[in-house]
A and B are shown apart, each in its own frame.
Chain A
């Protein structure tokens, strides 16, 4: 079933790496998500922000990819924050407890400017 293909672009916002995600986060997103993360941390930022505003579907495999990304970031002592999640996926991030380990913000500015304490 062809869905919107996953894609990710990386940019800097102040000293934060922002990854703009779009399409579907499923098994097919694996390599592109990893590449985007590696690109985002090239400048060794303390925080990586994931923009979910243009993501229309995340399945359990996609959740696993985000868990993997978060595990790696934590190992590298980086903070991961997210914004742009729909109400439904905010609920899923709460149920899976991803939001316990990843600050969820309503928009990019609040995600980028949040204090480290707010996101942990």
Chain B
């Protein structure tokens, strides 16, 4: 019944020709203006009219009702409730008759019939208007979303920086109701690079505009000031005056020297970056208030040196704070743990998104923007001469037969190395066998567990590293199968994989940690073609 009062108010306001008047209608064409009578939702008149069966003479009505007084003051004599499908949707209000006689029984019957016909028509008109208003509102929101997206996309980097010896990965996934995430790479003097990940509170166009302002200030100030703490202090001071009420920006700003791996950083209330190291996951903590809240803030500056093989993950809270259908949070510990398992930044991004998708399940709309930036220092050092070049990195799902995918992709990756035909065939067989082992023995044929394959080369060697998720058991020693025993039925005919791998490559190395097996297949590039035959 809560809708009735609003319906009543609407009808009373929009029906000037039947509005109550203190004077009799002088002529059919005369326009009558009458005061609007507001009826409060709890006015007893509402309940009375809802239960009335026809025209009501309000002059004799005994109710403690302000609305009744209002109607009487407006000169109303007779009220005919308009009821559609049991719902009171309006009132037909009549002043005194022009003849100054009372309304007759015939008049009332005529009015009741009229009300019976008018009510559904009025209801339809009300519904149409409501629907039109909803459509207009929806269109306005959609238009706003488009504008916000446009602003957002305008300020995201078009390409990732090319840093020798580093792999840089980035992902930005906007929520439908665009949040205020942003990231940026800023070229700095001395071949340094500034890395920004930020998040504006609020959503839509206001957030996008604040993001654009922050982005522009950062771009202007970072190359001049360099030091992350100075940059954030300056950006904060400039933003404070511009910031709309109840809004602020969290931001992580770091400066990387790609040649040395030195990473200086300061943090304005943003998520703490995680670093995947040999010793496990570490956090890059530094304290500081979000930008745009208070003037004169200072920001702690810290630094770390990223060793070869280490990966930093910068992330907005759209990932860790995502919820599933049970309102459980994806969580920072999970993000940290997945970072710890990563051996490549881009693979880490894929893994995080895949895990998130599995966690939230299908059909749930993304709550907030998700921004992920990874910086991975190549395992073989500073990227100078003699360092490893990465030729390919990819994953295959742990399903029987997928070793053929691995073989094909590795063959493609090494095409430029001029590996002699027979040696390429040996490598392909070794890759196939190692991938089969990873699928079957490491990942137990569980398709959701990936086998990661990385192909690298330096001046002397080609290396294919195949990693599974089965670190709980060691990789067995390679043994030469006893063919006589197999042919005599004394041993299983199987058990050729590792032996074949070893025979196919120049070197076979294995590594096991708590979670992974890695098998490294090495082919010497300097060896004379087919020297091993």
Q: Is B361 an interface residue (CB 8 A)?
A: no
Q: Is A64 an interface residue (CB 8 A)?
A: yes
**Nearest A-chain residue to B401, judged by Cβ:** A1
Q: A44-62, CB under 8 A of B: which get 1 and which 0?
A: 0000000000000101110
Q: Contact at A88–B426, with CB atoms within 8 Å?
A: yes
Binds A, one of B131-139, B237-245, B495-503: B495-503
Q: Contact at B487–A1, with CB atoms within 8 Å?
A: no
Q: Contact at A88–B422, with CB atoms within 8 Å?
A: yes
Q: How far is the CA of A98 from the CA of B533 in the complex (A)?
A: 17
Cross-interface CB contact of A96 among B402, B432, B481, B533, cutoff 8 Å:
B481
Contact residues in A for B500 (Cβ distance below 8 Å): 60, 63, 92, 95-96
Binds B, one of A12-20, A69-77, A108-116: A69-77
Q: Contact at A60–B404, with CB atoms within 8 Å?
A: no
Contact residues in B for A97 (Cβ distance below 8 Å): 483
- Nearest Cβ in chain B — how far from A45, in angstroms? 20
Q: Contact at B489–A1, with CB atoms within 8 Å?
A: no
Number of contacting residues on B, CB 8 A? Answer: 30
Q: Is the interface of A mostly helix, strand, loop or mixed?
A: helix
Contact residues in B for A41 (Cβ distance below 8 Å): none
Q: Is B488 an interface residue (CB 8 A)?
A: yes
Contact residues in B for A91 (Cβ distance below 8 Å): 422, 426, 533
Contact residues in B for A75 (Cβ distance below 8 Å): 489
Q: Is A65 an interface residue (CB 8 A)?
A: yes
- Nearest Cβ in chain A — how far from B126, in angstroms? 61
Q: Known pairs A61-B494, A95-B503. 18 more at Cβ < 8 A?
A: A1-B402, A3-B404, A28-B401, A59-B436, A60-B433, A60-B436, A60-B496, A60-B497, A60-B500, A61-B436, A67-B486, A70-B487, A71-B487, A91-B533, A92-B429, A96-B481, A96-B483, A98-B483
User: Which A residues have a C-beta under 8 Å from some C-beta of B?
Assistant: 1-3, 26-28, 57, 59-61, 63-65, 67-68, 70-71, 74-75, 87-88, 91-92, 95-98, 100-101
Interchain residue pairs with CB less than 8 A apart (20)? A1-B401, A1-B402, A1-B405, A3-B401, A26-B401, A28-B401, A60-B436, A60-B500, A64-B492, A67-B486, A71-B489, A71-B493, A74-B487, A75-B489, A88-B425, A91-B426, A95-B500, A96-B499, A96-B500, A97-B483
